[in-house]
């Protein structure tokens, strides 16, 4: 078991090095003086310029420069924002809970609907229900979610006035951040109505961000289920005289979940992509909006550090999924 | 395909004959109503794009503030001269959508063409030369796949500078790994087959093997991936446009149109609704086509 | 009383190119404690016939029969839940690929106990005890510790033993073994066959042994049914069949056995292939490959009829004294008759 975990963790190292290498080179492509860009300061005097030049190793070979950068990253030093002069890492960790809260809600939403829909579609293969689920999920998969967000605002906020248009909570509440997750913090604060305000603000962004994963999960569950239902051991289960329900809910689902978990893991990347768009539409104060704002403010250290951190997060989640995969699939666990 | 025809049973005592491979393909494809619908929509969009100059009632660029934010013709205050209404600076939305079709198709095709050419070459090289070359190429592709696609595209465009050209390059890079993997996998399975060994024994060089023998045998998955790739490209390029990083105003690119319209969502639903609908329908059509092609070409699913 | 009675059973699968008839007019009776060998090439419908008996024909396959009874009960009119109480309890089946036939996500113990708890109403403890007993009966060493093993941790032979344990768990009256040894090593094959035969004798259960291996039939079965392209070609006692085959197809199958071609320089083979969906002959299904085919047999399909203590589907059974004259009269086209 330990060997299995260590093998999987060691496989991530080249990817990590690759991402840092990418971040390292990309920032050097930015037009303008790279030292000013890296330091997050503009118009610095020559003495400081020279000092920074040494610090970043610009007088040394490119490999040494990368080594210096990597050492800094490993120590958690990702530079500081040009605008706020705050360290990139602390800004990121301040905003990240908002993104996680949204992402978790979205994936739960997607699972809650996508799994049962995919299963039912597989069981009733080629029925009207099946065609309906597949049609809707392909539409969801093709959805430009930035437009989908606007349309939902148009319907629910403008037409029916049901949900708020932007932000995480009504301005009249001030919630002391304890966990950073508003759903928890509002409950802890005991401020009346704050929790529901947070929930109401979450609804539309959750739907928007959950749409594509929902479509993917429904399609994947269906095809995994169909494949499993054709396996020999399902025939054995039938030959044992088990009930249809038990065969599907136990023997088939347990095996069909294995590829579905993998897909959910891969959806984390898609989720962060979607978060960038969703947060922009709903002015959701998370890392996605922060990154886009950084682009328009030409805050390159934030862009470099933020993208690197998001990459690392996605990589870590993929690793976690890989490990879980080993846990629920005994074949993998024992073979490596 | 040739194997199938060769295995056809002797002509004696038939009650039915097995269908020709192409006819069989069309049989599977046309049985899939979604795929046919996708194909029809795509043909329609292509026609609209080609005939934009004839079809569009107005110029997509000429502004006229006196008719700003006119609703579609069926609503009060709308007129048939501007069937889908006008945008905040008085441009005809229908005409902009029609010209936008050109851009979206152009984006889809150019992006996928770049990706296929570079991706196939990299994949073939990785599959044929193995060793360090393969490790280097495939690791790089893994890294690109690990990163959220739009995030990577955004970072690239942010560094290179916003614009249609740069956003197309960024999207092309982001979808590159799929083609590399496909081509490499095809090479590895195909090279172990007898006909490649036969060609090798009869003295065919590596380059000849790569392009003459192996490539034609992985065209089916490539075609499927290309169709799906076009939809991703259109979607991602529109997202970049929406974020202000893709095509720049006054370009009638659909995503960019949405970015312009965002602040009017509370006042004029039509400026927001139609461009997005155009993206959705086009992307959906390519996905339907891709799904249908895959089902028709993938022998594993045939029953 | 006959345990299993089948009359004119057919199984059809609709496909894109038309209806595929996998089983065509099969009639058969099986007594309690009897061992029947079902022989045929792959695609001959031997497995599908037995799957139909089990009620395991997947959608959209259709099962039709004039009569299909087990232990005096009509399987055709029985409700689905009634039938489920029979399958796995009174009729059990084991399959060709033991390792893929067991669910990879559950332990051996769980899969064994599941059957016991369902059909025998045992509680967890009793089922566990019985599961250990069963594993010991099928010759699995250190049975108790194997309960927590997953199928992929055991060898194919071990997994087939587990499958057998599962099948006999509720003392079935009929056990159907679908190529139980084909996927196993040669050394293991004999062990599994021995095990099956021992269990059959101990419990006096009826056993249907589906196989394409004539040797396996010779070792196990008392009666043999030979199938070809979904139809029964010949069905007789094993001794008679091996001694004097009546159908040209059976004769050809036997001639192809290595032990029967001693002294010959080449192994005998049957020319041609089993007809597919698109080239089903109008007449006798075996006629395109038959050495004794005639104009008549190519155009008119023979019926399944009683013959020499069994059944046969042939115009010119080998034991028929008038066959040469009949073949000559019907314009022979087969290779042997012409020479």
Taking CB atoms and an 8 Å limit, are B235 and A144 in contact across chains?
yes
Domain extent listing, chain A? 91-287
Q: Which residues, 6 or more positions from B302, have their beta carbon under 8 angstroms from its beta carbon?
A: B28
* Chain C residues whose beta carbon lies within 8 Å of the beta carbon of residue A231: 100
Count of beta carbons in the 10 Å neighbourhood of residue C272: 11
Sign of CA dihedral A84, A90, A94, A96: positive
Say which residue the tokens 């009546």 belong to.
C246
Give partners of C (≥3 CB pairs < 8 A).
Answer: A, B
Question: In the prediction, which pLDDT does C335 show?
Answer: 56
Between A144, A147, A273, which is nearest B151 by CB?
A273
Distances in Å between the Cα of A200 and the Cα atoms of A74, A302, B294 are 39, 30, 41
Question: In the prediction, which pLDDT does C216 show?
Answer: 86
* C307 bridge partner residues: C310
CA atoms lying within 13 Å on the CB side of residue B150: 31
* Chain A residues whose beta carbon lies within 8 Å of the beta carbon of residue C119: 241
pLDDT digits over B90-100, tens only?
899 999 999 99
For residues A175 and A191, the answer to whether their CB atoms sit within 8 Å is: yes
Euclidean distance between CA atoms C186 and C33, whole angstroms: 27
Residue B238 sits at the chain A interface (C-beta within 8 Å):
yes
For residues A334 and C150, the answer to whether their CB atoms sit within 8 Å is: yes
Question: In the prediction, which pLDDT does C281 show?
Answer: 87
* Chain B residues whose beta carbon lies within 8 Å of the beta carbon of residue C277: 16
For residues A15 and B145, the answer to whether their CB atoms sit within 8 Å is: no
Residue B240 sits at the chain A interface (C-beta within 8 Å):
no
Q: Specify the range with the lowest mean pLDDT, choosing from A119-128, B64-73, C165-174.
A: B64-73
Q: Is the bond preceding C60 in cis, omega lying within 30 degrees of 0?
A: yes
The two tokens of residue C132 are 């250990």
Taking CB atoms and an 8 Å limit, are A269 and B255 in contact across chains?
no
Domain limits, CATH 3.40.50.300, in chain C: 1-90+174-243
Q: What are phi and psi of C263, to 5 degrees?
A: 90, -25
pLDDT at B300 over 70: no
Beta strand C305-307 with C310-312 is antiparallel
Average pLDDT of chain A? Answer: 87
Taking CB atoms and an 8 Å limit, are C280 and B27 in contact across chains?
no
Report the chain A residue with the minimal C-alpha distance to residue C150: A330
* Chain A residues whose beta carbon lies within 8 Å of the beta carbon of residue B283: 142, 144
A58 closest CA partner among A88, A28, A22: A28
* Chain B residues whose beta carbon lies within 8 Å of the beta carbon of residue A158: 265-266, 269
Q: What pTM did the predictor assign?
A: 0.83
Report the chain C residue with the minimal C-alpha distance to residue B14: C279
Euclidean distance between CA atoms B254 and B167, whole angstroms: 14
Residues of chain A whose C-beta is under 8 A from some C-beta in B? 14-15, 18-19, 22, 26-27, 29-31, 135, 138-139, 141-144, 146-148, 150-151, 153-154, 158, 269-273, 276-277, 280-281, 291-292, 295-296, 303, 307, 310-311, 314-315, 318
Taking CB atoms and an 8 Å limit, are B15 and C278 in contact across chains?
yes
pLDDT at B209 over 80: no
Taking CB atoms and an 8 Å limit, are B15 and C16 in contact across chains?
no
The helix (run of H) or strand (run of E) holding residue B115 is helix B93-129
* C20 bridge partner residues: C13
B257 closest CA partner among B249, B268, B246, B265: B249
The helix (run of H) or strand (run of E) holding residue C2 is strand C2-15
Which pLDDT band holds residue C249 (cuts at 50, 70, 90)?
very high
Q: Is the bond preceding B250 in cis, omega lying within 30 degrees of 0?
A: yes
pLDDT at A336 over 50: no
For residues B247 and B279, the answer to whether their CB atoms sit within 8 Å is: no
* Chain A residues whose beta carbon lies within 8 Å of the beta carbon of residue B291: 138
Euclidean distance between CA atoms A295 and A273, whole angstroms: 15
Question: In the prediction, which pLDDT does C336 show?
Answer: 52
Nearest CA distance, C303 vs chain B (angstrom): 20
Beta strand C310-312 with C231-237 is antiparallel
Which pLDDT band holds residue A192 (cuts at 50, 70, 90)?
confident
Residue B18 sits at the chain C interface (C-beta within 8 Å):
yes
Nearest CA distance, C279 vs chain B (angstrom): 5
Taking CB atoms and an 8 Å limit, are A314 and B273 in contact across chains?
no
Question: In the prediction, which pLDDT does B180 show?
Answer: 93
User: How many residues are given for chain C?
Assistant: 339
The interface predicted TM-score of the complex, written ipTM, equals: 0.88
Euclidean distance between CA atoms A256 and A241, whole angstroms: 21
Q: Which residues, 6 or more positions from B189, have their beta carbon under 8 angstroms from its beta carbon?
A: none
Euclidean distance between CA atoms B295 and C158, whole angstroms: 39
Q: Which residues, 6 or more positions from C159, have their beta carbon under 8 angstroms from its beta carbon?
A: C98, C99, C101, C102, C151
Which pLDDT band holds residue C123 (cuts at 50, 70, 90)?
very high
Euclidean distance between CA atoms B96 and B48, whole angstroms: 12
Give partners of B (≥3 CB pairs < 8 A).
Answer: A, C
For residues B184 and B119, the answer to whether their CB atoms sit within 8 Å is: no
Q: Which residues, 6 or more positions from A278, have their beta carbon under 8 angstroms from its beta carbon?
A: A102, A145, A149, A205, A208, A209, A284, A288
For residues B4 and B21, the answer to whether their CB atoms sit within 8 Å is: yes
Q: What are phi and psi of C160, to 5 degrees?
A: -65, -35
Q: Supply the DSSP string of C239-305, one letter for each residue.
A: HHHHHS--SHHHHHHHHTSGGGGTT-SS-----S----SS---SS-TTGGG-TT-BHHHHHSPPPPE
* Chain A residues whose beta carbon lies within 8 Å of the beta carbon of residue B161: 31
Mean pLDDT for the stretch of residues A125-142? 93
Between C56, C118, C152, which is nearest A334 by CB?
C152
Which pLDDT band holds residue B198 (cuts at 50, 70, 90)?
confident
* C224 bridge partner residues: C37, C236
Give partners of A (≥3 CB pairs < 8 A).
Answer: B, C
CA atoms lying within 13 Å on the CB side of residue B253: 31
Give the DSSP letter of residue C317: -
Q: Which residues, 6 or more positions from C152, have their beta carbon under 8 angstroms from its beta carbon?
A: A330, A331, A334, A335, C99, C104
Count of beta carbons in the 10 Å neighbourhood of residue A183: 15
Question: In the prediction, which pLDDT does A333 show?
Answer: 56
* C7 bridge partner residues: C67
Report the chain A residue with the minimal C-alpha distance to residue B156: A26
Name the range with the highest mean pLDDT among A296-305, B104-113, B128-137.
Answer: B104-113
Euclidean distance between CA atoms C67 and C76, whole angstroms: 8
Residue B15 sits at the chain C interface (C-beta within 8 Å):
yes
pLDDT at B14 over 70: no
Name the range with the highest mean pLDDT among A93-97, B214-218, C328-332.
Answer: A93-97
Average pLDDT of chain C? Answer: 90
CATH number of C1-90+174-243: 3.40.50.300
pLDDT at C298 over 50: yes
Sign of CA dihedral A35, A40, A45, A47: negative
Nearest CA distance, B36 vs chain C (angstrom): 18
For chain B, percent of residues with pLDDT exceeding 70: 91
Question: In the prediction, which pLDDT does B4 show?
Answer: 35
Which pLDDT band holds residue A331 (cuts at 50, 70, 90)?
low
Highest CATH level, class, for A91-287:
mainly alpha
Residue B303 sits at the chain C interface (C-beta within 8 Å):
yes
Mean pLDDT for the stretch of residues A79-83? 85
Count of beta carbons in the 10 Å neighbourhood of residue A149: 27
The helix (run of H) or strand (run of E) holding residue B92 is none
Euclidean distance between CA atoms A158 and A151, whole angstroms: 10
């Amino acid at each position: 078991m330990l060997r299995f975990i260590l093998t999987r963790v060691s496989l991530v190292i080249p990817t990590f090095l690759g991402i840092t290498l990418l971040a390292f080179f990309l920032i050097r492509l930015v037009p303008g003086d790279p030292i000013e860009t890296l330091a997050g300061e503009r118009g610095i005097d020559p003495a400081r310029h020279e000092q920074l030049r040494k610090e970043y190793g610009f007088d040394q070979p490119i490999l040494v420069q990368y080594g210096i950068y990597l050492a800094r990253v490993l120590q958690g030093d990702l530079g500081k924002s040009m605008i706020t002069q705050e360290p990139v890492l602390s800004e990121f960790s301040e905003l990240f809970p908002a993104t996680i809260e949204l992402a978790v809600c979205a994936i739960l939403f997607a699972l809650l609907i996508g799994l049962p829909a995919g299963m039912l579609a597989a069981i009733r293969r080629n029925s009207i229900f099946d065609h309906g689920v597949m049609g809707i999920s392909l539409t969801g998969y093709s959805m430009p979610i930035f437009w989908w967000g606007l349309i939902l605002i148009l319907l629910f906020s403008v037409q029916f006035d049901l949900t708020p248009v932007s932000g995480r909570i009504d301005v009249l509440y001030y919630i002391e951040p304890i966990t950073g997750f508003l759903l928890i913090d509002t409950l802890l604060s005991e401020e009346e109505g704050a929790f529901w305000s947070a929930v109401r603000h979450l609804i539309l962004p959750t739907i928007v961000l959950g749409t594509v994963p929902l479509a993917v999960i429904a399609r994947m569950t269906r095809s995994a289920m169909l494949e499993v239902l054709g396996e020999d051991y399902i025939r054995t289960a039938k030959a044992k005289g088990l009930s249809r329900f038990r065969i599907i809910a136990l023997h088939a689902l347990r095996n069909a979940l294995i590829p579905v978990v993998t897909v959910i893991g891969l959806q984390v990347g898609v989720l962060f992509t979607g978060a960038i768009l969703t947060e922009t539409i709903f002015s959701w104060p998370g890392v996605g909006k922060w990154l886009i704002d950084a682009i328009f403010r030409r805050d390159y250290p934030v862009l470099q550090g933020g993208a690197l951190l998001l990459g690392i997060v996605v990589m870590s989640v993929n690793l976690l999924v890989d490990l879980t995969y080993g846990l629920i699939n005994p074949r993998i666990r024992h073979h490596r | 395909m040739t194997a199938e025809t060769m295995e056809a049973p002797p002509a004696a005592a038939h009650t039915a004959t097995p269908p020709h491979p192409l006819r069989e393909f069309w049989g599977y494809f046309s049985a899939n109503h979604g795929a046919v619908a996708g194909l029809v929509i795509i043909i329609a969009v292509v026609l609209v794009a080609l005939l934009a100059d004839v079809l569009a009632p107005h110029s997509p660029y000429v502004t006229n503030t006196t008719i700003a934010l006119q609703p579609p013709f069926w609503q009060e205050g709308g007129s048939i001269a501007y069937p889908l209404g006008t945008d905040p600076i008085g441009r005809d939305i229908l005409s902009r959508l029609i010209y936008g079709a050109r851009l979206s198709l152009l984006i889809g095709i150019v992006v996928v063409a770049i990706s296929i050419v570079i991706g196939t070459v990299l994949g073939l090289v990785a599959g044929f030369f193995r060793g360090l070359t393969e490790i280097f190429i495939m690791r790089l592709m893994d890294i690109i796949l690990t990163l959220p696609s739009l995030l990577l595209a955004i970072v690239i465009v942010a560094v290179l500078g916003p614009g249609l050209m740069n956003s197309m390059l960024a999207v092309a890079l982001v979808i590159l790994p799929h083609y590399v993997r496909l081509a490499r996998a095809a090479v590895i399975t195909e090279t172990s087959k007898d006909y490649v060994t036969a060609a090798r024994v009869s003295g065919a060089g590596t380059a000849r093997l790569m392009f003459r023998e192996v490539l034609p045998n992985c065209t089916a998955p490539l075609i499927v991936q290309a169709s799906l790739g076009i939809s991703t490209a259109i979607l991602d390029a529109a997202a970049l446009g929406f974020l202000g990083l893709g095509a720049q105003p006054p370009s009638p690119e659909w995503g960019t149109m949405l970015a312009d319209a965002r602040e009017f969502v509370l006042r004029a639903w039509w400026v927001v609704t139609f461009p997005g609908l155009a993206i959705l329908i086009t992307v959906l059509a390519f996905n339907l086509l891709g799904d249908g092609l895959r089902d028709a070409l993938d022998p594993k699913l045939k029953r | 009383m006959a345990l299993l009675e089948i009359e004119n059973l057919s199984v059809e699968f609709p496909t894109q190119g038309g209806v595929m008839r996998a089983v065509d007019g099969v009639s058969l009776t099986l007594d309690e404690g009897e061992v029947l060998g079902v022989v045929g090439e792959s695609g001959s419908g031997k497995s599908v016939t037995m799957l139909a008996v089990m009620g395991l024909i997947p959608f959209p396959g259709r099962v039709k029969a004039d009569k299909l009874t087990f232990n005096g009960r009509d399987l055709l009119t029985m409700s689905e839940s009634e039938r489920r109480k029979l399958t796995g309890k009174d009729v059990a089946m084991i399959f060709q690929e033991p390792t893929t036939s067991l669910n990879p996500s559950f332990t051996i113990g769980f899969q064994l106990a599941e059957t016991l708890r369902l059909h025998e109403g045992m509680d967890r403890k009793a089922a566990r005890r019985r599961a250990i007993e069963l594993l010991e009966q099928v010759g699995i060493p250190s049975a108790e510790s194997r309960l927590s093993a997953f199928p992929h941790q055991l060898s194919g032979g071990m997994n087939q033993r587990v499958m057998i344990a599962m099948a006999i768990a509720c003392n079935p009256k009929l056990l159907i073994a679908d190529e139980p040894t084909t996927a196993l090593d040669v050394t293991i094959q004999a062990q599994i066959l021995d095990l099956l035969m021992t269990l059959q004798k101990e419990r006096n259960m009826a056993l249907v042994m589906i196989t394409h291996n004539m040797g396996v039939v010779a070792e196990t079965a008392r009666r043999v049914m030979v199938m070809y392209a979904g139809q029964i070609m010949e069905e007789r006692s094993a001794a008679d069949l091996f001694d004097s085959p009546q159908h040209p197809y059976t004769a050809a199958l036997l001639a192809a056995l290595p032990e029967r071609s001693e002294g010959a320089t080449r192994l005998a083979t049957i020319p041609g292939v089993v007809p597919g969906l698109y080239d089903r002959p109008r007449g006798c299904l075996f006629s395109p490959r038959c050495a004794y085919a005639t104009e008549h047999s190519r155009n008119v399909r023979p019926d399944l009829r009683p013959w020499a203590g069994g059944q046969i589907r042939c115009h010119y059974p080998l034991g028929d004294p008038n066959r040469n004259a009949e073949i000559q009269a019907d314009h022979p086209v087969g290779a042997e008759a012409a020479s």
